[in-house]
Structure 1
């Protein structure tokens, strides 16, 4: 049961990454205001999309899923830091980024016994 929950959670993370990358690639005008507000030039949108797609592929493929989870965490950690620098403490983009990072590791934890061995959760007595 936990394997399927992990697969579903992981699939949700991959879908979010692919959807976000698709918006960046095919409708960059939708994020132009956010990009300029954050100080990123609009020319970096394809680079960000490529990074998101790379994270999604590495995370989805079982042999590289741990590396993918690390990269997903780093990518969204950068987004959290960016919004913190902009003075947006506890903003929706920060909370969503945090949630995606947590979901990435939760999905991996539930679907991969090796990750459960490395990151054991202990029960309180």
Structure 2
């Protein structure tokens, strides 16, 4: 259970910072958004979306829905990095690493998810 909370915590801390930075339109968030080919006007909406997805993920009753929402959002991030030709391991796959932390952390701390998605079949 604690391992799951720690894994989830790493992703949550990063995503919380990212959502807040986008919502507040910090210079770093503005620069990154423009470099990815998006207008600055999308920042607040992206920040709100990230914070809502995070809240849904953090509530135990809706955590699986939150992980599903994050999977979709992070899939868009992967597509964006591929579109602009960013490096594979440091940029394109970074959302995959975050999704792995979110899902593995949730799987370790949520017995209902382990029952639904077992790592091995019981004979």
Q: TM-score, normalised by structure 2?
A: 0.89
Match of 1:116 among 109, 114, 117: 114
Gaps of 5+ in 2: none
Query: Within the alignment, does 1:23 sit opposite 2:21 as a pair?
Result: yes
3-state SS in 1 of match to 2:38 = coil
Answer yes or no: is the 8 Å Cα contact 1:59–1:65 preserved in 2: yes
Answer yes or no: is the 8 Å Cα contact 2:74–2:99 preserved in 1: yes
Gaps of 5+ in 1: none
**Alignment of structure 1 residues 28-107 onto 2, 5 Å:** 28-107=26-105
The number of equivalent residue pairs is 121
Answer yes or no: is the 8 Å Cα contact 1:10–1:107 preserved in 2: yes
Runs of 4 or more, structure 1, over 2 Å off, are 25-28, 31-34
RMSD: 1.6
Give how far 1:66 is off: 0.3
Answer yes or no: is the 8 Å Cα contact 1:8–1:107 preserved in 2: yes
Answer yes or no: is the 8 Å Cα contact 1:14–1:59 preserved in 2: no
Q: TM-score, normalised by structure 1?
A: 0.88
Answer yes or no: is the 8 Å Cα contact 2:25–2:43 preserved in 1: no
Give how far 1:70 is off: 0.5
